[in-house]
Amino acid sequence: MQASATLSQPTRHPRWFRGLAWGVLAERLLLALLVLLFAARGLVPGWRHLNSDFASCYLAARLYREAYPLERVYEWKWFQRQKDHAGIERTFVGFIPFTPTSVLPIVPLSWLSPEQASRLWLAMNLGLLLTVVVLLQAITSLSWRRIALLTFLAVAPLRSNFLLGQTHLVVLCLLTLAAWMYFRNRPFLSGTVVAAAAAMKIYPALFLVFFLLKKQWRAASGLALGTAAAVTLSLGLFGVGTCRIYWREVLPWDLRGDVVDPYAIGWDSLNALLHRLFIFEPELNATPLAHLPSLYCFLYSVISGFVVVSYLWAIGSKRSDSSRRKLEWASYCFLLLLLSPQPLPYHFVLLILTAGLVTDYLVAQRRARLLGFVAVVYTLACLPYERLYRLNPRSWKSLFFFPRLSFMFLLAGILFWILVSESEGSLENFLRRRSAMRPAVAFLAITTVGFVLNLRHQAGEFDNYKTRVTTSVGSAIAMDPVATRDGIFFGSLVPKFVASGRDEYVIRKLHDDSLMSFGGGGDWFHPTVTQNGQTSWAEVASKNSRIGRFDSAHRSSGNQPFIVEAVDAEQPVVSSAGELLAYLREVRGRASLWFRGIKGDGKSTLFAQERELADPHYDVREAAFSVDNQIVFSSWAHERYELFAADPASGAITRMSSVTCSARYPAFSPDGQWMAFSCQSSGVWQLVVMNLRTFEQRQLTTSDCNSITPAWTPDSKDVIYATDCGRALGITALARLKVIR
């Protein structure tokens, strides 16, 4: 009886065992909750809706498959027009700042519809995420459950990647694979895989510094050869022109963090915070703490230089056991993310790799308290803060609207402490044994070079502020101005356009300091107006592009009505006397030049009277009428732009030998004495005017930014143009320059 009674009593486990059991249960419940949150807020909405980022990559891949020339994918207006023609329902797209090679994973999906391709891409991303988990389990000693928990704690990064269909999981998977090869003593293969990641996003190429610092010559050579192969592949697949435009006109802006609105709260970067505090921009950042560009340059250079030198100094420890190598790889990945000039939440999926390797290191070192602190800060850095992005804080209050950046710097401090305290036995020994001279010299050099380069870039950037034509907060892009006696017309990207409730390109008219908008039923581009301002045309793009004549005297409460003047036509321009209308037609991205006669009252003649003036061989980009009805157009030929003059009466076409630079955007003064155009110089476009009698040329702008699409005022004294100076690549505003004094 006593024995049976003893056997019937429940087993009493030790307290530590019961605590462990409760901990396992809590981890499982938390993991289940995080997976459900990821599915409900990221995977399912991304499955149901085609979002902008995937639509952009899909469109570029489709254009490449259909043999379109891709050198124009970095032009906002042209890329949006192709989206309209492809019938992609997403309202707004842009390919800046993607690399040309980033379209390659999407090309096999471009045979599917956008919605089908998006869903297959999400399924592939789930596979990539599983691959990351498998690789982390192979690299570390962590359990599947712990790795999955760390993965799904990246709430905002995973959600935004799947919601937007981003490509950053490809980069995460490649860098995790490279780490697996590196830790298994396959350095050359590790370097080549890092090069493949750099072909998708540029920043992994900076692993070359890591490999050289650690004297991993085979890994460095693998990265160098892999990068050379990627460049060769890019040149062969996309052409010299596309690659040159990316390297010269896009990449420098990307490295500075000026590719998309550098003042936006949504960028979780030091660059964005300092822009917000110390650089004024009339539309994008009207209320900074102070307009002190020099202070921005100094602080950004000093803080970035200090972080870089400190981390490289700590990573350069001679200790080389396997656990230390994992910690250094994790810390360097974190450093690249911390210094990224324009990271959005989806960039932070790279933290999954850092968190996995650091957690494995701390578990092996039995540092439970520090591990808990790291886990908390990592979780806070990965929480969603999208609601803050909708606000527009003023002055010093911007400091409180970058929580992810704050947690990233806190995590940076923790990782640095771990690196130095574990490298030589103690922090005191680390500081005593390692020479401070080399890092001090490196810090001074990096800070000085960064400060000088930033100052040089900003020279003259803000001079156009005092001559801005209009500063409308509701306008994201202003372009293609036309100046008439009745006002200034221009194209504009308007968020939440009233006629449709969506982001759309519309035509705006500025008259007596008031703005009128015309649009609806598609994107409206490139207005052209007779000099009296009474007859107006624009390109209306949907499944095709049409030239529509609209009433610019009255704004419609809904979609603006228009009369179709030409079909499958774009970029209209009208002659000075209002007798001829010219426009372009595209065949697989290469445009020909056409024209037709119109009656004096602005009503078109029969469609049959239109005539082709320059065939697609010229690949026409823009056109303009001179006073004597000659048409000057820009042409993409031999990897540069040239200007040609065409006579509508005879059909004769001659190259303008007086213009020797790579030139676009011609515009003639109403008095017939001047031609304005843009010349490319050092990767940016500068305004130039030429006297048509003497052919003397004068450059009007010199800043390290773009000044394009000039238009003359009716008195032939001023030029109104679009500029992205002080803004972001292609995110232009309108300014005025006095030419004749």
Which of 409, 430, 457 is where one domain is finished?
457
> Do 484 and 434 lie in a common domain?
no
> Do 337 and 191 lie in a common domain?
yes
Q: How many domains, in total, are found in the chain?
A: 2
Give residue 497's pLDDT: 54
| Residue 333 Ramachandran class (φ > 0 left, ψ -120 to 50 alpha, else beta) | alpha
Least confident span in 13-27, 251-265, 418-432, 544-558: 13-27
Residue 535 lies in a domain: yes
Share of the chain above pLDDT 90, in %: 74
| Residue 130 Ramachandran class (φ > 0 left, ψ -120 to 50 alpha, else beta) | alpha
Asked if pLDDT for residue 151 goes beyond 50, the answer is: yes
> Do 429 and 288 lie in a common domain?
yes
Domain range for 335: 120-457
* CA–CA separation, 142 and 124 (whole Å): 25
> Do 227 and 289 lie in a common domain?
yes
* CA–CA separation, 593 and 214 (whole Å): 58
Average pLDDT of the chain, as a whole number: 89
Instruction: Name the nearest CA neighbour of 256 among 458, 462, 395.
Output: 458
> Do 446 and 543 lie in a common domain?
no
Per residue in 297-309, pLDDT tens? 999 999 999 999 9
Which of 514, 540, 573 is where one domain is finished?
573
> When comparing pLDDT for 120 and 316, which is higher?
120
Instruction: Name the nearest CA neighbour of 156 among 330, 343, 30, 400.
Output: 343
> Do 448 and 476 lie in a common domain?
no
* 575: Cα within 13 Å, side-chain hemisphere: 21
Give residue 636's pLDDT: 92
**What does the block give as tokens for 342?**
């324009």
* CA–CA separation, 613 and 584 (whole Å): 10
* CA–CA separation, 319 and 49 (whole Å): 50
Residue 144 lies in a domain: yes
Judge whether 315 and 420 are in contact, CB under 8 Å.
no
Residue 25 lies in a domain: no
> Do 298 and 441 lie in a common domain?
yes
Give residue 428's pLDDT: 54
* CA–CA separation, 732 and 720 (whole Å): 12
Residue 738 lies in a domain: no
Bridge partners for 676 per DSSP: 667, 689
Per residue in 709-741, pLDDT tens? 999 999 999 999 999 999 999 999 999 999 875
Residue 714 lies in a domain: no
Distances (CA, A) of 436 to 46, 215, 423, 443, 690: 50, 20, 16, 11, 57
Residue 67 lies in a domain: no
Distances (CA, A) of 546 to 526, 543, 549, 556, 611: 12, 10, 10, 19, 16
> Do 447 and 538 lie in a common domain?
no
Peptide bond before residue 187 is cis, with ω within 30 degrees of 0: no
What 3 state SS string does 405-454 have? Answer: HHHHHHHHHHHHHHHHHCCCCCHHHHHHHCCCHHHHHHHHHHHHHHHHHH
> Do 193 and 251 lie in a common domain?
yes
Specify the DSSP class assigned to residue 227.
H
Judge whether 212 and 224 are in contact, CB under 8 Å.
no
pLDDT band per the 50, 70, 90 thresholds, residue 426: very low
Which of 547, 573, 599 is where one domain is finished?
573
Give residue 22's pLDDT: 58
> Do 484 and 355 lie in a common domain?
no
Residue 586 lies in a domain: no
pLDDT band per the 50, 70, 90 thresholds, residue 676: very high
The model's pTM is: 0.91
* CA–CA separation, 619 and 621 (whole Å): 6
* CA–CA separation, 549 and 572 (whole Å): 10
> Do 416 and 556 lie in a common domain?
no
Judge whether 50 and 90 are in contact, CB under 8 Å.
yes
Least confident span in 168-172, 283-287, 331-335: 283-287
Residue 358 lies in a domain: yes
Asked if pLDDT for residue 6 goes beyond 50, the answer is: no
Give residue 297's pLDDT: 96
Q: What is 545-583 written as a DSSP string? A: EEEEEE-TTS--SSSPP-EEEEES-EEEEE-TTS-EEEE
